[in-house]
Structure 1
Amino acid sequence: MKNDLTKMMALDIYASNLEEEKYSEINADLQPSSKKSVNLLSWGIQDLFFEKELFNDLDTIKTFSENFNWKDNVSTVIKENYYESLVLTNIEKKILWVSNGFTKMTGYKKEFALNKTPRFLQGEKTTENTRKRIQTKLSQGKPFKDVIINYRKDQSTYKCELHIIPLHNNNLKITHFLALEKEVV
């Protein structure tokens, strides 16, 4: 990141010292493209926030893991996969805990989600085929990924990629599910 910042500063200095005619020739190349652009400086800041949230989430999940005697190494799964939100449900799919990212992604307060099933996030555009497919995968007891159309509190829709991990106790019985979620295009 330091090199990128240095390069951008050098480009700014170079461009600001050009004569008007030369600057006019390259000005179009210096403008952001019409495609969606990302401010490179924001990546470092985003990473810092994600790391802080990651550590908070890991601490909470470790506490759950100890309390429920999970044999699964959930910390590794969380560290190795990008997510915006975590949702922990019991075997009946009632929400026990959501990360702070859940509120950012959905608009719902954490307290609102507790003891509900994630179905409250679904609506008219969430197809029955998708619901059945996810239910079938849950019943198979294996980790999986899928995409579902969910609804925010303001009723706007978003495509949510779910990475669901069944969690097992020491007797290898599934006791909980952890969903790592992120919005996708």
Structure 2
Amino acid sequence: MENNPTPHPLLCWDIVLEGIERRKQLKKDLEALQNIMYRNEWKEVRAAFQEALIWEDKTIIVTDSQLNIIHATENLHTMNGYWPHEVIGQRPTLFQGPATSLDTRKAIKMAIDALQPFQTALVNYRKNGSTYTCHIEGFPIFNQSGRLVNFMAIEKAA
């Protein structure tokens, strides 16, 4: 008889454990987004953020009206190496650098200044300095009184 251990088949529990942490993360992110939504009395609830987060595994960043990041979903770390707590209080320009198109940056700024939604792709930088193409759908969020309270960006690295 050989001394080689018998390989064990992949157990169902192994697959379940892998998804438990992701589901916990999603629950935490959705609760945080809902708290922001209720606290700021969002006029129009964008259900797109739930679908984007759960089914499309996109990263969501919420800023205040001055563009300071107040929330980032946990999967930000997978996209660019930053943990959400590292970017709170920073501006999204933190992810930009020399290879980020000035024209694209200007177009985003014009949309934000005009309080208009936008979709674009631009070169962003990971925490380690490497670049990636980031597809962004950004839009302003208004409260029940019509006052700008937040901006939201739904992002996916390509």
TM-score of the aligned structures, taking structure 2 as reference length? 0.79
Q: Number of aligned residue pairs: give it.
A: 140
Q: Deviations over 1:84-141 (max 9, x none)?
A: 3111101111111111011121111222211110111111100111110011111222
Q: For the Cα contact (< 8 Å) 1:83–1:180, is it kept in 2?
A: no
| Counterpart check, 1:141 vs 2:112 | no
Deviation at 1:166, TM superposition (A): 1.1
Ranges in structure 1 where 5+ consecutive residues have no aligned partner: 1-44
Among 49, 52, 75, which residue is 1:78 paired with? 49
Partner of 1:60: 32
Partners of 1:49 and 1:163 in 2: CA distance: 27
Q: For the Cα contact (< 8 Å) 1:57–1:99, is it kept in 2?
A: yes
Q: For the Cα contact (< 8 Å) 2:139–2:152, is it kept in 1?
A: yes
Deviation at 1:54, TM superposition (A): 3.8
Ranges in structure 2 where 5+ consecutive residues have no aligned partner: 1-16
Letter in 2 for 1:138: I
More helix per residue: 1
Higher relative contact order at CA 8 Å, sep ≥6: structure 1 or structure 2? Answer: 2
Partner of 1:32: none
Among 36, 47, 72, which residue is 1:98 paired with? 72
Call closer, same or farther: CA 1:48–1:148 in 2, change over 3 Å: farther
Q: For the Cα contact (< 8 Å) 2:49–2:60, is it kept in 1?
A: no
Q: Percent identity?
A: 26
Q: Deviations over 1:135-169 (max 9, x none)?
A: 11112223221111100011110000111121111
Letter in 1 for 2:144: N
Letter in 2 for 1:154: N
Partners of 2:42 and 2:87 in 1: CA distance: 23
| Counterpart check, 1:113 vs 2:113 | no
RMSD: 2.2
Partner of 2:144: 170
Deviation at 1:83, TM superposition (A): 4.2
Partners of 1:166 and 1:47 in 2: CA distance: 33
TM-score of the aligned structures, taking structure 1 as reference length? 0.68
